[in-house]
Structure 1
Amino acid sequence: MRKRRFKAYRVPAYIHDALQTLKPPEDLTVSQWSERFRVLDERSTNMPGRWRNSVTPYLVGIMDEFNRWETEEIIFAKPTQVGGTEIILNALGYIVDQDPAPTMVVYPTDTLAESTSDNRIQPTIEASPELRRRWLKKASTKTELQFDSMYIALAGSNSPSGLASKPIRYLFLDEVDKYPAASKKEADPISLARERTKTFVSNRKIYMCSTPTLRSGHIWKAKEAADVEKHYFVPCPHCGKYIELKFAQIKWPEKDTGMTDADRAEFATYVCQECGGVITDRHKPAMLRNGQWRNVRENTRFSRTVAFWINTLYSPFTRFSEIAKEFLKDKDDPDALHNFVNSWLGEPWEDTKLTTSADLVRDRQTETEMFDLPPWTKMVTGGVDVQENCLYWTIRAWGDYLTSQNVAHGQALNLTEVQNIMNLEFKRPDGQPFLVDLTLIDSGDQTDEIYDFCAQNADWALPCKGSDTMLSHYRLSTVNKAGSKAYGMTLVLVDGGKYKDTIASRMRKPNGQGSWMVYKGVDLDYCEQVTAEQKVTERSSNGTERTRWVPKSSHAANHYLDCEVYCMAAADILGVRQLFLRQENQEASKPKPEPQTNGPEAGWISQNESWI
């Protein structure tokens, strides 16, 4: 049977173009598109040519998060020079070619936006045929790039007018910690830019990246608030276990070897925290290629905001010796160390002025058992921190010179339990009974219920609220809530920061007079909660500094610390700082024995006591 031959017809160019236009986009992820179509321009990199995911494998997971339909926001907290901006360029290319939609990129300033357009974005478009054929170059400006079915607007965070009006589906926020703060006339730039995405609330994507500055900065706050936080784990070449690269594991020769710091740094290696195996720079490429992003924190199963974090140890362009050298050079200069922490470790700078630890609390244990009073007790106070589902409480004994010891602590399910606990009788070793003299109860939450409870138990309870604007440690105010049973009752305003200073300093004193102590066998949860905060110095955007107590980690429980603050404030109200004077006054007020008047024979007898 003869085969039929089909005559080949040449398809006219206009039909070919029409078919190409109607052709659906390929099912590619951002990372796949980048490796196939992204071309690196020689003007902006020392590795020109095709983009290769194998060079920076950790960027793949972040890029592909754009293709996860549930994810609305992507946060990338990072050190410098690890590819945060490259993610933006790759994602822009993917959007233009695969999923056109109105897009905006916000930079710290207008000048930087124009410079990035000239030196990074436009060269990227010109280098890729897939992007170049869609670009309407003549219709574009530096800050608004026009394409056949979309546009990319570039704006500076210092220009509020550029962040208003047009609807945006894809929003990119670069180096957000360098954005200015909100003014009296305008909201902060991030909020203004977010407003543009309201129209696309069901399918918008917001990407935010930055090197951290302070814990209160935009990127770190966004990372802490994310539904999911991911860190990059890599396999150890020796034991095969997946580890997170941490600066503390970089080791170099000790100082007493006679080498300079620069020479010592040259011998730096990474020591696996699991097996102790020595990892060198030659192991890093294979480790990175086989790495994977893993959840280190997850607040909900339905994650809309995903945060990623790495440090410079993951950079394929930075050797362990360079990191060690930079640290040894900067460690004695606070400003230089600040830059190292931000730009190399990818962490917020905290100038820690005062810190405590759970081990320090354990060192403050005495031989007195729980619910027993120390022999020097002269006063007993309580503190209650109110939470939505329970109440935390502590009871502390006080003696002369602010000597104190935790007598008991715990959780109560309701105020009735608190009432029963605070009305217990405690005894000193000599049998002297004591009741709780005064308890302060946090009224910031469930205010009406706390006010009513304190009014009913006014002989031992007072409501309190935190306040950090006072010159003194505490101030007595009045409940002025109309209709409340506690109307006219004393309300104690407490400066928690000042009391935390006192607690931390007293905690450092050895057990004895003036020390802040705990009972024998104190539990670990209490020890961790009373040391869950540290005092740090923070710099604002205008250069001013202030110190304050902040949690050591996100979501750290500090309820017992608040209880101890209230205990100390209650003791202050009762005059604990003058307890030693009361003893002196009592001694002074005792009647002195009258001198005995003896006859003349008394002297003779005393001189001849052995006469009998």
Structure 2
Amino acid sequence: EFAGGILIMTGASSAVGLRSTPARYIFLDEVDAYPASADEEGDPVTLAEARSLTFAHRRKVFLVSTPTIRGLSRIEREYEASDQRRFFVPCPHCGAMQWLKFDRLRWQKGKPETAEYHCEGCDQPIGEHNKTAMLEGGEWRATATAADPTTVGYHLSALYSPIGWLSWERIVRSWEAAQGSDEAIKAFRNTILGETWVETGEAPDWQRLYDRRERWKSGTVPAGGLFLTAGADVQKDRIEVDVWAWGRGLESWLVDHVVIEGGPDRHDAWSELTTLLDQSWPHERGAHLRIARLAIDTGYEAPAVYSWSRAQGFAQVSPVKGVEGFNRSSPVSGPTFVDATEGGKRLRRGARLWTVAVSTFKAETYRFLRLERPTEEDLAEGAAFPPGSVHLPHWVENEWLKQFVAEQLVTVRTKRGFARLEWQKLRERNEALDCRVYARAAAWIAGADRWTDEKWRDLEDQLGATPTEMDGAGRVNRPQAAPRGKRQSDWLGRRGGWF
């Protein structure tokens, strides 16, 4: 409490907190990171705004956020419904008023220190030392007519940072450093320019993927692959599993595709899946690797999946639940504890469930598939594949490739007229894409997105060594494997217990 009022703070995930107390003034921070629904009771922003309705025209609702993805960004939607104010500054040469745009910032290639802004009116270069006077002479101007005349919106990028803060030179350095990585460019546009990122979800041509299949010894892990994950999709009459190898920069190789006949009601199907966890794949450098982590979908017959996962141990098996939407703070969240059944007995909080934003990993996969690949001549001269490159083996069949690109991202309109992005199937079967998403989630859960360079080097050192004995989950040069009980998470790495 303070003189004249009270400050109430709550989280965007708490429906009770968002609707509990009427408030005349509401401040909503980083709205693009809010979950799609608060406790399954609806949009957090709508719930919060409803708290101010009692105060009618006297209320004020203030929304602030770094934008995220076009078509899904809450702050973009609110800004476009406003009068869209920009901060106009005068040119020190001709006096023309303009708002700063990144494409007017120019520099000599490879020399960020030469960055200067070019006026829209006279095209004269403007040195950054002029920025202080420009900001002092600036003013906010509306650039659109608001749908609601009581709504105003403001946009400001890092180009306006005062002298001594983020300089144009540092902005250019960040831009140049981001080249070659969609994720880095996305972060630059979101955080530096304050712009939304446009996801390109057009499905790649499966025939083009067929033509660029690669040859390596069947059943082996190529040299760049440093650990294995698997994604399992449970169907009524089968369980499909894809095993992927992952290397630095999330470069990946499809190592194996397994179809286990019989659905979750067939005991032998689960036995075969258990056997797959024990299987090892030879690495090109001589070691043997087992699956570090398998992510299995719980969308069909979740109780059976929980029971099997519990029996194997959650160090190696991760039940997952896919959810739609890009506007999530993390592509994978959890685990949360759910009830499981074992031997006919219900076990409260007996299983661990991870939630996966499948839209994020589908879009990432399609971005990776569109990466420009080095030519044979480039490779002969020592060029490397870009981070994220997806390598498909020569043995992969047409049907699998069609499943791999079986969806596309489209923009649809809601009943209220708002645009949103939605993945739609181009064909009925999409198991290959689903398994890829689950295997990618398994890599995220294992920690690959957060590993330090030291950990990657540790993997490379071990796989480069001459193995004296292959033990549990691909560990190299260890004298004795751990006794077999529930599966150990120490699947690879001298330090053990990484996960």
Range of TM-score over shorter length? 0.3 to 0.5
Structure 1 length-normalised TM = 0.37
Structure 2 length-normalised TM = 0.44
Larger Rg: 1
Pick 1 or 2: higher relative contact order, CA cutoff 8 A, min separation 6.
2
